[in-house]
Amino acid sequence: NKSDTNKRVCLDTQALNNILVDDVQSLPHIPDIFHKLAGYSVFATFDAFSAFHRLEILKSDRVKTSWTSPIDGTQFCFKGSPYGIKFLSNIYQRVMNRLLNDDYEYVDPTELKNHHKGNTLIRRSKILKDHIAYFVDDLVCFSRNMEEHLIHVKEVTRTPNKVNLILNVDKCHFAQKSINLLGFTVSEQGKTIDIRKLSNIESWPLTS
């Protein structure tokens, strides 16, 4: 269902999922996300390159993702998490919480020249706390005007790179009056059903 045509390596994870322990990280309450966006007029959405694949697997566990090529019998295993593992959304949500929502953020010691020597924690910008919302890998920034938006986008775009999440510029959308998010179209006027989700209804056969 991806909108691009790039090929992706997928793994049948049914047997693996049967023995994995569930992750208890909760996901956001979707109505709360839309409530947070209410009244704002300028939006941006962000997309990361191969988001789940950037969740690195411990070397000792990579063998559990082994698979054999049907072409030549070569065996491989995943270094980054493959799609289909049941708790990836929970883990990714935890990463996003720590990256964007904690009161403090870790700083690389080499970047501490403007901070107190030896201090590797700085208070997180309120921009990230007050002007973003996210559900797993769906990330949106919202502003009241274009001047604010430029500041907010700059702050958001600098943050993922710190943990090796690389933004896919071709799939990021800035300075939008409306956006599609979690099955809805959102604008300053509120939210409506995303018509893309209804586009195939006309082709459904009529009941007799």
Say what the alpha-carbon torsion angle 141, 145, 149, 151 is, to the nearest 10 degrees.
-130
In order of start, what are the domains of the chain with their CATH numbers? Answer: 22-198 (3.30.70.270)
Higher per-residue confidence, 113 vs 178 = 178
Structural tokens at position 47 = 């997309």
Q: What is the DSSP letter of 135?
A: E
Higher per-residue confidence, 107 vs 84 = 84
Structural tokens at position 64 = 């559990």
Say whether pLDDT at 125 is over 70: no
- The residue to which tokens 């501490």 are assigned: 112
User: Which pTM does this prediction carry?
Assistant: 0.77
pLDDT in tens, 176-192: 999 999 999 999 999 99
Q: What is the DSSP letter of 110?
A: G
pLDDT score of 167:
87
> Which ranges in the chain belong to alpha helices (H)?
14-19, 30-37, 88-100, 126-130, 146-158
d(CA 89, CA 147): 33
pLDDT-derived band of residue 113, with 50, 70 and 90 as boundaries? very low
pLDDT score of 127:
65
